[in-house]
Structure 1
Amino acid sequence: MRKIFFLFLLPVILLNAQVDIPVLKNYANDFTNTLSGPELGNLNSKLWRFDDSTSNQVVFLMISSLQGYSLESFTYETASKNQIGSKKNNNGVLFFVSKDDRKMRIEVGYGLEGVLTDALTSSIQRNEVRPYFKQGDYYAGISAGLNAIISASKGEYRGERKDRDEKVEGFPFIFVLMLIIFLVSLFSKGGKGGRRGGGGGILPWIILGSMTGGKSRGGWGGGGGFGGSGGFGGF
């Protein structure tokens, strides 16, 4: 009977043995002793300046292991318990890393979900953070990730590397538009004595596609808010 009772209580015991939700006293919090004092100082200074100038609050946390806790639950509960961001605007962000589990996540408050969406936070982790983490350079990855989060909250980070086509940035759009109109008109006429019904074919649109290809970007999709933004399993 005692064995049955113990087995019944085992899930509760294991649940209570999981890692506690930490109280965060700084903007940058490292419970793994991975970062040096000066590195933590630099991160704290950066995040404090951002908070002071915008009222948006970004907090970083790194722990050794989740110890069985789900990534989503832990980041949500940590952000909620520590009241990251203002209560009125819900404009907080938690950048979380579980070092030994090789997991990270960016938890976003509803007030910033319009600029820090799921796709964008995943892009930050994949393109800005992960390459450094793979090299074992945690400070560089964390700093790059925080820089991207700050830029994204200002609408300055799009999450995509610039394509080679985008190097021609100063090219006047009006000139391109006039050229396209001219080409469409030219091919639509088909020349004197040309066959009827051709409508110019697809050549003008091939030219148009070559001029504008790779430039369009769809919407980023819905933001997650606390509990649903930017999950990325592993580095």
Structure 2
Amino acid sequence: MNCSGPITFALIALLFSLVAQADVQFPPLSGHVVDRAKLLAADERYHLTELVQQYESDSSNQLVIAILPELQGITIEEYAYQLARHWKLGHKDKNNGVLFLVAPRERKIRIEVGDGLEGTLTDALAANIIHTKVVPEFQSGDFGEGINAGVQSIISATRNEYVAEPLESKKDRRMTVLLGLFLILVILHLFVTSVLSAPVHGRSYKRGRFGGNYGSGGFGDGYPGARAGDNFSGGGGGFGGGGASGGW
């Protein structure tokens, strides 16, 4: 059986892929928050900086948030993997780096996990964080809150404190709404039927009886307030492609 055709095609595809990756330019690692897309306000960058700096101080894990204008024509999975290795996130002896990458132009999100943290921040948990914590906030236009929720959840996961939320698809939500409406209609139908079928002299309700009480129950990017000395370099942790991706 002659396989030279498929093999040649695969080699050509691999060659083009390597050439494309060679042209990719990575931004410098200017701090724990690298917001090249200017998506966050200054106070949001400052808060995230303080949060991840304290996390690194407590755990030695290196978490970096990167918000980039574009992915330069490659997938977010490949870009995140290459960027994490380029920045050498995590310590070499622990492989404990995490990259939280957001690409607004492509509307993509990626959590890239170092080899040493894959036991706690698993692919499944990373996916759950993206789809239940980050994506809903992004869809409502609150990028700062979405990134903050994602970072908080990543930290909790590496501490074995994160509780995954059930994933609900758009189809599931539509079915839930329709089922709720159906049950309301059934209850109304039963109520109206019982009222109309009751004897006139047997009706005990009075006006106002059915009532109730209702009441209201990046630092390093040059923004104001950036902590001085945040520029740091990674220690050379290893990445094997663990993590998850999503979009909004």
- TM-score tier, shorter chain, comes to 0.5 to 0.7
The aligned residue for residue 178 of structure 2 is none
Q: Distance in 1 between matches of 2:66 and 2:160?
A: 24
Q: Is the 8 A contact 1:98 1:104 kept in 2?
A: yes
Q: Secondary structure at the match of 2:242?
A: coil
Of 57, 74, 84, the residue aligned with 2:62 is: 57
The aligned residue for residue 157 of structure 1 is 162
1:79 aligns with 2:84: yes
Deviates more, 1:147-156 or 1:30-39: 30-39
Gaps of 5+ in 1: 1-10, 162-224
Mapping of 1:176-215 within 5 angstroms? none
Deviates more, 1:58-67 or 1:143-152: 58-67
Q: Displacement of 1:19 after TM fit?
A: 4.3
The aligned residue for residue 106 of structure 1 is 111
Q: Which amino acid aligns with 2:242?
A: S
The aligned residue for residue 202 of structure 1 is none
The aligned residue for residue 125 of structure 1 is 130
1:95 aligns with 2:100: yes
Q: Distance in 1 between matches of 2:149 and 2:246?
A: 18
Q: Displacement of 1:231 after TM fit?
A: 2.6
Q: Distance in 1 between matches of 2:74 and 2:240?
A: 14
Q: Which amino acid aligns with 2:37?
A: T
1:228 aligns with 2:228: no
Q: Which amino acid aligns with 2:160?
A: G
Sequence identity percentage: 42
Q: Is the 8 A contact 2:110 2:245 kept in 1?
A: yes
Query: How many residue pairs are counted as aligned between the two chains?
Result: 162
CA deviations over 1:83-123 (Å, ceiling 9, x no partner) = 11101100010000111101111000011000011110000
Q: Displacement of 1:73 after TM fit?
A: 1.6
Q: Distance in 1 between matches of 2:23 and 2:142?
A: 28
Q: Is the 8 A contact 1:90 1:109 kept in 2?
A: yes
RMSD: 2.1
Q: Displacement of 1:81 after TM fit?
A: 1.2
CA deviations over 1:2-50 (Å, ceiling 9, x no partner) = xxxxxxxxx69x8379541222121111111111111111101100000
Give the TM-score normalised by the residue count of structure 2: 0.61
Q: Displacement of 1:230 after TM fit?
A: 2.7
Q: Which amino acid aligns with 2:241?
A: G
Q: Which amino acid aligns with 1:233?
A: G
Q: Which amino acid aligns with 1:102?
A: R
Q: Distance in 2 between matches of 1:78 and 1:17?
A: 12
Q: Secondary structure at the match of 1:84?
A: coil
Q: Distance in 1 between matches of 2:140 and 2:26?
A: 29
Q: Is the 8 A contact 1:107 1:227 kept in 2?
A: no
Q: Displacement of 1:71 after TM fit?
A: 1.4
Q: Secondary structure at the match of 1:94?
A: strand
Of 27, 37, 60, the residue aligned with 1:32 is: 37
Q: Secondary structure at the match of 2:52?
A: helix
Q: Secondary structure at the match of 2:241?
A: coil
Give the TM-score normalised by the residue count of structure 1: 0.64
Q: Which amino acid aligns with 2:97?
A: G
Q: Is the 8 A contact 2:115 2:242 kept in 1?
A: no
